[in-house]
Structure 1
Amino acid sequence: MKKYPFVYLACTAAVVGASLGATPASAGHMTHVVHAGQSIQKAVDAAESGDTVLITPGTYRESVTVTTPGLTLRGVGRGVVIEPAAAKAAGTCAAGGNGICVVGTKERKVEDVTLASLTVTGFTRSGVYATATDGLTVRHVTAVKNGVWGIAQEGSVRGVFRGNTARDNGDAGLFLANTISAEQGATDTGGTLVERNRLEGNRIGVTVRRLRNLTVTGNHLTGNCAGVFVVGDENKPRAGQVTVAENRIVRNNKSCPKTARLDALQGSGIVLTGTEDTLITQNVIRDNAGTSPLSGGIVLFKSFVGTASERNRISDNELSGNSPADLVDQETGKANTFEANTCQVSRPAGLC
């Protein structure tokens, strides 16, 4: 049998030096090192739960599907670039226009996969796409110029998205949803965390769609058409119980045209639409300006189907230079509260 020329090393920690080698560590788990010109997918297919696939610098023209729980797929930095294959590639991940796919099933979520320290670019749909995962970690991934989403996940729980860069993607830099293909109520993510990411030049920086129990914190969002969207509708359970805190949301003034479901976008900091029991606190929101119905620093807006946002709390945010106003409440919803925000102009007046 022909052996594929990976290097297999027992490890808990792979140390990559000038020679791009690795050192052995604890028993039981292997490191599979992939060099430029080799196939990442073949290494992933050879790996077992707990193993690491370590990718050395180079451009890899392929899509990669991960279904093995406990697998780590890690590059050694931005010099590891995954791009679409020149010819039509086989496999559902490539056929779907995605770069890296992490895929579980409805019956069994794929658990504890980690993606780290690489770049995915130029895919017609998503740089990273995950479905039916539990405990997925995506860190220090750069997703650039993908057709729809930079990094996207649906039908998943307990994810961690930390320290990533999503830039110039066609829709959201980071997109998290209950499901994309069906209408249903919001699902509980079990505490998914979106933390310290940089989201720039996308249509929307972060979209949270029909989810509950999720935190978006410490991110930097600039140059998008809109910074953060938290989206719900009339389905039960309602979307909400999301915390958006301590983010810096500045000059999201790119102009994006109207779509079938959403007005034209420009100059939106944070938009809540059709949500409940969401906390927006301690964010810095500056100089987001536009003429869209959704423009403004923090905007409460009826959902696409007319469902009001209710019992959301907007407190202790620092807002300035947003137009048409720092705080915009277009709702007739119940018990939305605005308190202790530092701002200059609101619509209606009196919210600052």
Structure 2
Amino acid sequence: MNKCHIAYLACAAALLGTGLGAAPSTAGHTVHLVRPGESIQKAVDSARAGDTVLLAHGTHHGSVDVTTPGLTLRGMGRGTVLVPEAGTGTGPTGKAGVERAADSCAAAGNGICVTGTKDHGVDGVTIASLTVTGFAKTGVHANEADRLTVRNVSAVGNGVWGIATERSARGVFRGNTARDNGDAGLFLANTVKDEEGATDTGGTVVEHNRLEGNRIGVTVRRLRNLTVAGNHLTGNCAAVFVVGDENKPKAGLVTVRENLIERNNKSCPKTARLDALQGSGIVLTGTEDNLITHNVIRDNVGTSPLSGGIVVFKSFVGTTSERNRIRGNLLQGNSPADLVNTDPGQGNTFQANSCVSSKPAGLC
């Protein structure tokens, strides 16, 4: 344990012991302590760039909007739990009576919202070391957030997404657990409201997360230039989706490497946008120039058109996948096959993969 970490813990302990709500840190920033029953929103609204809002161990009720750049919202581990306000379902009102605008992210049924605009992004925010559970829509949602860090967060049992971003870049999502959420555990997209070409994330990283029991473990939708690495994905209907469509620029330049993807055999019904899902490891649909390498993909079994270990599939709007490189992966026990290519797109290559079965034959 390094000296900085020891000093941080000492500061937190001092705050709890003295009952102070805030104290200056050595860097001139302030730690705002929030106990269960106190308003997180009030502390966030009073904080300045570089400050930390520290949530004490226990259950906190309500949602919170973060609009201050450089803010850290941190709990004390999984035992710091954020749940919806009792009786509101999607209510953003805390016990201290801090109300949010009716059209805000929090009022829409989300837990923690990092909310910027096109002209005023919210840069450098960190969300860390807490559990967000039971929200009608999303546990942690960010829009127009540059350099967002989400780490050691448990997003469990939220209605749509566990952790989600739109119109955001250069994010880091590390060491999180997203479990039993209604759609994706981790959802990264350009936008869900408008038809637009893929946007460049500037190197967003999704690594060392555990994604379990969701509809989809990780969805990368209409984005370019990011990495999904070293994650453990199990018990989802599908593990990883890299999704594009007919808009330009095309989605792609995603690296998916060194992930453990096993037994994603939960069954999920068809939706308006997607066929029924079961037994899908990695699915590429309507994308280009992706690298899928050194993943271990085993025992993903299903009868969906998207079932299989690694599946290259023409998008549902007819856009082909092109120039994707699938190489050096270990695949075992996936059905209907370890490797599946039903896409007529050009330049997709399968090289040096350790596998037994493919559709069409000859890809292993």
Q: 2:224 aligns with which of 185, 207, 212?
A: 212
- TM-score scaled to structure 2, two decimals? 0.91
- 1:278-289 equivalence runs, <5 A: 278-289=290-301
**Aligned AA for 1:49?**
A
State the Cα distance separating 1:23 from its structure 2 match: 7.9
Q: 1:248 aligns with which of 250, 260, 279?
A: 260
The residue that corresponds to 2:26 in the other structure is: 26
The number of equivalent residue pairs is: 342
Q: Separation in 1 of the partners of 2:336 and 2:79?
A: 42
The residue that corresponds to 1:50 in the other structure is: 50
Q: Separation in 2 of the partners of 1:33 and 1:242?
A: 39
Is the 1:63–1:93 Cα contact (8 Å) retained in structure 2?
Answer: no
State the Cα distance separating 1:24 from its structure 2 match: 5.5
Is the 1:144–1:167 Cα contact (8 Å) retained in structure 2?
Answer: yes
Is the 1:229–1:272 Cα contact (8 Å) retained in structure 2?
Answer: yes
Is the 1:14–1:31 Cα contact (8 Å) retained in structure 2?
Answer: no
The residue that corresponds to 1:80 in the other structure is: 80
The residue that corresponds to 2:4 in the other structure is: none
Is the 1:14–1:24 Cα contact (8 Å) retained in structure 2?
Answer: no
Q: 1:192 aligns with which of 204, 207, 212?
A: 204
The residue that corresponds to 1:230 in the other structure is: 242
Structure 1 residues 18 and 221: CA distance shift in structure 2, 3 A: farther
- TM-score scaled to structure 1, two decimals? 0.95
State the Cα distance separating 1:43 from its structure 2 match: 0.6
Unaligned runs of 5+ in 1: 1-11
**Aligned AA for 2:36?**
A
**Aligned AA for 2:159?**
G
The residue that corresponds to 2:94 in the other structure is: none
The residue that corresponds to 2:66 in the other structure is: 66
State the Cα distance separating 1:36 from its structure 2 match: 1.5
C-alpha offsets along residues 178-213 of structure 1, whole Å, 9 cap, x if unaligned?
001000000000000000000000000000000000
Is the 1:203–1:226 Cα contact (8 Å) retained in structure 2?
Answer: yes
C-alpha offsets along residues 114-171 of structure 1, whole Å, 9 cap, x if unaligned?
0000000111100000000000000000000000000000000000000000000000
The residue that corresponds to 2:321 in the other structure is: 309
Q: Separation in 2 of the partners of 1:19 and 1:55?
A: 11
Is the 1:279–1:313 Cα contact (8 Å) retained in structure 2?
Answer: yes
Match of 1:110, SS?
coil
Q: 1:277 aligns with which of 286, 289, 307?
A: 289
Is the 2:244–2:286 Cα contact (8 Å) retained in structure 1?
Answer: yes
Structure 1 residues 207 and 179: CA distance shift in structure 2, 3 A: same
Q: 1:290 aligns with which of 299, 302, 311?
A: 302
Match of 2:43, SS?
helix
Q: Separation in 2 of the partners of 1:68 and 1:222?
A: 36
Structure 1 residues 38 and 238: CA distance shift in structure 2, 3 A: same
Is the 2:37–2:61 Cα contact (8 Å) retained in structure 1?
Answer: no
Q: Separation in 2 of the partners of 1:262 and 1:70?
A: 37
**Aligned AA for 1:295?**
S
Q: Separation in 2 of the partners of 1:324 and 1:296?
A: 6
The residue that corresponds to 2:360 in the other structure is: 348
Q: Separation in 1 of the partners of 2:136 and 2:255?
A: 31
Is the 1:284–1:317 Cα contact (8 Å) retained in structure 2?
Answer: yes
Identify the range of structure 1 (18-27 vs 130-139) with the bigger mean alpha-carbon deviation.
18-27
Identify the range of structure 1 (26-35 vs 182-191) with the bigger mean alpha-carbon deviation.
26-35
State the Cα distance separating 1:37 from its structure 2 match: 1.4
Q: Separation in 1 of the partners of 2:120 and 2:250?
A: 25
Overall identity of the aligned pairs, in %: 73
Is the 1:197–1:219 Cα contact (8 Å) retained in structure 2?
Answer: yes
Structure 1 residues 14 and 111: CA distance shift in structure 2, 3 A: farther
Q: Separation in 2 of the partners of 1:115 and 1:123?
A: 17
State the Cα distance separating 1:93 from its structure 2 match: 2.9
Identify the range of structure 1 (312-321 vs 83-92) with the bigger mean alpha-carbon deviation.
83-92
**Aligned AA for 1:313?**
R
State the Cα distance separating 1:66 from its structure 2 match: 0.2
